[in-house]
Amino acid sequence: MITIGIDPGMSGAIAALDDAGQHLGTWDMPATTDGKLNWVDAIALNTILWEITAATRPAQVVIERVGAMPKQGIASAFKFGVGFGSILATIEASRLPLHFVTPQKWKRALGLSSNKAASLHKARLLFPNAHLRYAKNEGRAEALLLAHYFFTTTRGAHERRTDTNSTTG
């Protein structure tokens, strides 16, 4: 089963691993804009999901369970929510099994902190053929690591809307 990891947000990304846990590809989060409002381009995201699963290969999606952060402004929280909602709606419409994991849970399991540079370094070590040359590729790195975490902890097992995190973790 293909595992698709999604690091949500406008600087996030999508990453896919094959049924052996090998890197299939990474994509920056597609975005569209209208004035000051940005959101995820659902058509482009759906196209990426379609390309990943085009050979009718079974797939599952794991996404970070995130929310507004303390001290984040109202407008910023609203923009993030619009983007996150766009991602969730696109996944739902694609009918792919959807799983949630908190960043604290998957990062702790991989020996990482909130330091995005450390995530980029670890992803480069685990997936040397992935396009992660620049510091701006942190979203790609985190999407890959999220998919890697989920693949290695579940070995491809899936259930619809499984929450792999308790409310404490």
This prediction has a pTM of: 0.85
Does an H or E element contain 59, and which?
Answer: strand 59-64
Does an H or E element contain 99, and which?
Answer: strand 98-101
Between 25-34, 79-88, 155-164, the lowest mean confidence (pLDDT) is in 155-164
Kindly list the strands in the beta sheet with 23-28, ordered across the sheet, starting from the edge strand earlier in the chain: 23-28, 13-17, 2-7, 59-64, 98-101
The per-residue pLDDT for 69 is 64
Give first-to-last CA distance, the chain, whole Å: 26
Give every CB contact of residue 114 below 8 A, 6+ residues apart in sequence: 103, 107
What share of the chain has pLDDT > 70, as a percent? 88
Q: What is the pLDDT of residues 119-128, one digit of tens each?
A: 999 999 999 9
Beta partners for residue 26, in sequence order: 15
pLDDT band for position 116 (cuts 50, 70, 90):
confident
Q: What is the pLDDT of residues 46-55, one digit of tens each?
A: 999 999 988 6
Tokens of 123: 């992803």
| Domains contained in the chain, CATH given | 2-154 (3.30.420.10)
**Who wins on pLDDT, 67 or 106?**
106
Average pLDDT score over residue span 134-161: 82
Question: CA–CA separation, 150 vs 136, rounded Å?
Answer: 23
